[in-house]
Every structure is written in structure tokens, then in C-alpha cells.
Amino acid sequence: MVKEQLKAKNIVITGASGGIGAEIARLCAASKANLVLLARSIDKLKRLKAELEAKYQVRVDVFQLDVSDTDQVQKVFREILARIGDIDILVNNAGFGIFREAHEASMDEMKRMFKVNVIGLMACTSMVLPKMRERRFGQIINIASQAGKIATPKSSVYSATKHAVLGYSNALRMELSDYNIQVTTVNPGPIATNFFDIADEQGTYVKNVQRFMLKPEFVARKVVGSMLTRTREINLPRWMNLGSVVYVLFPRLFERIGKRMLNKK
């Protein structure tokens, strides 16, 4: 997939060392965008940089960043802005989940999930907003989840973080609508990535949902396809999105039936 409009655009991707972040990076590189890739695993980022530079002759900068450390976020983004100038697209993709019932979740787990999935995402966004507003150009793509629309048993904390991402993004979209800055949220259902190594230690969920898991390349194609467009939200798969509409319309019924049917974890 090549998207001509991305040529020479500066795209920053958090959580780019694996999973859908790395796939998004591959497609952006194929479209000749300049990339800045961020994650904690600097070795994986360096390997991806070498792969993309060799294959596509594009510029790829990598920085080690734990998005939950907001001081580090500020430092790294200042360096990025100094090095590449303007950021055209920010993809807030870094995130993780731990599937556990609320009464079993530790304080540390709850804080970590919110620090990475919510505070980290907001911190990165804050760092690109002033310049984007000044230029009246840009796009912020926030990877949320279907868990941000449909809460299910054992995903209370993770789901709360993704609901927070959607709330933040919706307000942001309205704030930025007069500045020609698009805010796109992405709500995928289960994707076959390493996400479940942490989220689903027992492997129960993966076993139960294996047959309808999305491929990371497919999700990445949808995300890159939305770049520099006015896409508001991407919901995948479509039938799961229908579920979230039914949830809003008939919440009691949905929760009564869903308690059993959606408890795949």
C-alpha cells in the first residue's frame, strides 16, 4: 500500500517497536514519509530503522521513550521538534492491558495502565499541539479500542483507560476543528499481536477469540488509509461496532446478555 500524500510528511509513532505500531511504520515508509519511532525497546527500534531505511530509502529517527514518564516525553519531543521541525501526524499507539477482575487488580497495575494509555497519550499530544495550532495543520491519531466503547468483565481498568482516550479525543476534536487539525480515533477488536503476552497470561482469551482476531497488517492499512483525511473514527471489525451501538440503545439488556456472552477472558 502506497499513499502518495504521505511523501515527505513527518510522522511520529509511539509504541513502534512491535505490533500495529511497527506495521503502521512499515506502510508509512513505503509511502516515503519521514518517520520518528518511539518505544522503550531501543534495539527493536534500531532494527526497524535499518529495515525501513534499506528497503525504502526514507529518513527514520528513533528515540527510546517510556511514555509514562512525562518529563522524558517533554525532553524527547523537544529534541524531535528541534531535529525534524514540524510534526504532521502523531500516532499515539503505545499502550498495554492486563485482564483481571477489578477486585484483583493491584494499585500498581491500575496506575501503570492509566500512566501509559492515558497520561502518556495526553503528554505526547500536548507536545505537538502548539506547533500544529500555529501551522493550522496536522492530525492526531489515537489508538483506543473497542474496549473504549464496550466494557466487558475482566477489562474494567483497561476499558476505563480506553474510555478516557475516547473522551479526551472527542473534546480535542472539537477544540481543534477550527485549526484544520484532524483527530482520528481507532477502535479495534482483538488483534493478533504480543499485546496478549501481558494482557492474557493464561491464554484463555486468545483461545476463545482466535477465530475473529484481526491481523495487525489489516489494522495498520486502515490507520494509514485514514491519514490526512477527515476520518473521525475507525471501528473494527464492523460487527463489533454494531454491538457498541446496541449497547448505547439497550444498555440493561446488553449487559444482561453480554455478561455471559462477552466474558471471553
Task: List residues binding ligand NAP (CB under 6 A).
Answer: 14-21, 39-41, 44, 65-68, 93-97, 116, 143, 145, 188, 190-191, 193-195
Q: Which CB, 156 or 180, lies closer to ligand NAP?
A: 156
* Residue number with CB closer to ligand NAP (34 or 68): 68
Gyration radius of the chain over CA positions: 18
DSSP assignment of 247-263 equals HHH-HHHHHHHHHHHT-
**Smallest distance from the beta carbon of 94 to ligand NAP, in angstroms?**
3
Catalytic-labelled residue, pool 158, 168, 179, 205: 158
- The CA–CA distances, whole Å, from 151 to 107, 157, 208, 237 equal 20, 10, 17, 16
Q: How far is the CB of 58 from ligand NAP (least distance, A)?
A: 19
* Residue 158 designated active-site: yes
Nearest residue to 99 (alpha-carbon basis) of 111, 113, 89? 113
Instruction: Specify the DSSP class assigned to residue 140.
Output: E
**What is the torsional sign of CA 159, 161, 164, 165?**
negative
Cell of 24: 503502521
Give 150 or 191: the residue with its C-beta nearer to ligand NAP.
191
State the residue number with the nearest CB to ligand NAP. Answer: 19
Q: Considering the complex, what minimum distance in angstroms separates the CB of residue 209 from ligand NAP?
A: 9
Residues classed as catalytic: 158
